[in-house]
Structure 1
């Protein structure tokens, strides 16, 4: 696995990380054995960067990672998040120093570590200026509890405000062949400021694969049940485009998933995508994406097959948008 820097001043990590939200059951039930097998496969493939959060489960994802590291005697570079108040009404966030410190300490205990490679503010607390929150993160970094600081789902304007206080190592947002909002300022701002841009859901929450999804089989707790892009006419429309992408990929000997991740990697050297899975077989389908190099013809064909704005339906349902900073 090739390496990329986690921001201007950060450590080198695998060019593709592993998102661990699935370990917490967001896309259906899973168990420790399956999660361990996925982490084993990631390690064997050279993936050394994990992305998790205290709310995944809640706590389950962090606990599984901690248990794996204790059992295997190995250490991933781990990014985790805090700021969302677990058990409170959706959208409730607390970015105060006392709350963030307490949540970080609890996360480290579950992970079995005395510091994390990267700590994100998962959602903004709008009662506290982002400059003040950045000061808190820098304080935790100075104390050695975190190696790098980051924000999830903020705007380019907010990133610039935070960066005026101190260097922001990473920003995480959804970005893929069907979600291209970050091209309207965020990817550019990150490049200018030396900030890593970390695309989550680069596989479109599973739609970019070689097997048709069936929304009718989604479990009651599956995040996609309420997602507009997976419902009715929207889903049928979107699958027509995905099937063209599959044909493009198959002609070149690539899986659809590998093509989708390779596309994110080739949008800039500062991008580090974190596809999520709970199954080793799914991971194997895209693990070689860092070796794919598109020709000019490939890029032109991808833009023809999936023109900007092709996806039908919003990327989130209204209730899922709470706390996300929208800038366009």
Structure 2
């Protein structure tokens, strides 16, 4: 697989990584054995960068990784996150005490003594990012983490954080229907030597081979609360998505492969982070790392899906509270 560097001084990893939120039912029921088989098969595809969080399934995603990591720890670049709480009165906590407790719990659940890349999952409003970076640098000096990552931050936050210490990765939603990082985060990562880890590059399934049907979303499916899938916006989005699927098929590719290839073509420091528990889907995602789109193809995609084409915001009111706004 195509390799990309995880930060200025970081390791080389597959250009396509694997997110584990799906492993614990974020988009519907999940089977543990299917998830473990997907992990094994992904490693053989060259997907060696695994991303999880202490909030996925309230820690269950990290626990699920433990037996896999026991067998393959030396082949895996492991990322996890902290900072989202289960407290409705304080949904985000970046204090040293909380983050220390969260880190120790993640290490126990995954049965490892070191996390290669550790993110602040959401920034706590009002707490200086400089203070948060000092906490993360102490974790690094203790040998419990390798590199520092920040998730869903504004370019200005990255600038302030990088003045304190190296930031290896910024994780942001980035895809053909969520292009906000082009307004500063993509450029800021290049300036500061950070990888842009683009989560949901397949648009939460909208660029999959089979388009989702919001009528089938269960009560635990995150997409049920996202405005782009509601009764007003989804029919309008569906028109564009069908055109894109036709384009991909005309070129003999799956929509997911083309969507991943598009994301990777945006800049050499972009790493695509799809989440799936299906090896068939991950093979299509991995194919995107080998697919070189011509300028004519990129122009054609841009005509069908121009910047800002998606109807509806990406998050509803509750989920929009964490990501930093910057435009």
After TM superposition, the score normalised by the length of structure 1 is 0.97
Q: How big is the shift at 1:157?
A: 0.3
The answer for the alignment partner of 2:122 in structure 1 is 123
- Matched with 2:249 is 250
Gaps of 5+ in 1: none
Is contact 1:79–1:118 with CA below 8 Å preserved after alignment? Answer: yes
Corresponding residue number in structure 1 for 2:95: 96
Is the alpha carbon distance of 1:90 and 1:224 closer, same or farther for their aligned partners in structure 2, counting shifts above 3 Å? farther
1:182-213 CA-to-partner distances (Å, cap 9, x unmatched) read 10011001101111111101011000012121
Whether 1:160 and 2:159 are equivalent positions in the alignment is yes
Check conservation: 1:24, 1:58, Cα contact below 8 A: no
Residue number in structure 2 paired with 1:231: 230
- Tell me how far 1:75 sits from its aligned partner: 4.5
Shift of 1:139: 1.2
1:68 corresponding residue in structure 2: 68
- 1:58 lines up with 2:58 in the alignment: yes
Q: How far 1:102 moved relative to its partner? A: 1.3
Deviation at 1:165, TM superposition (A): 0.7
- Any stretches of 5+ residues in structure 2 without a counterpart? none
| 1:189 equivalent in structure 2 | 188
User: How many matched pairs?
Assistant: 327
Whether contact under 8 Å (1:170, 1:198) holds in the other structure is yes
Moved over 6 A (4+): none
**Alignment partner, residue 38 of structure 2:** 38
Per-residue CA deviation, residues 28-63 of structure 1 (Å, 9 max, x unaligned), is 111210111111121111100011100000111101
Partner Cα separation in structure 1 for residue 313 and residue 240 of structure 2: 16
* 1:294 alignment counterpart: 293
Q: CA deviation at 1:260?
A: 0.3
**TM score, norm. by length of structure 2:** 0.97
Change (3 A) 1:238 1:90: farther
Verify the 8 A CA contact 2:206 2:212 in the aligned structure 1.
yes
Partner-residue secondary structure (3-state), 1:149: strand
Shift of 1:71: 5.6
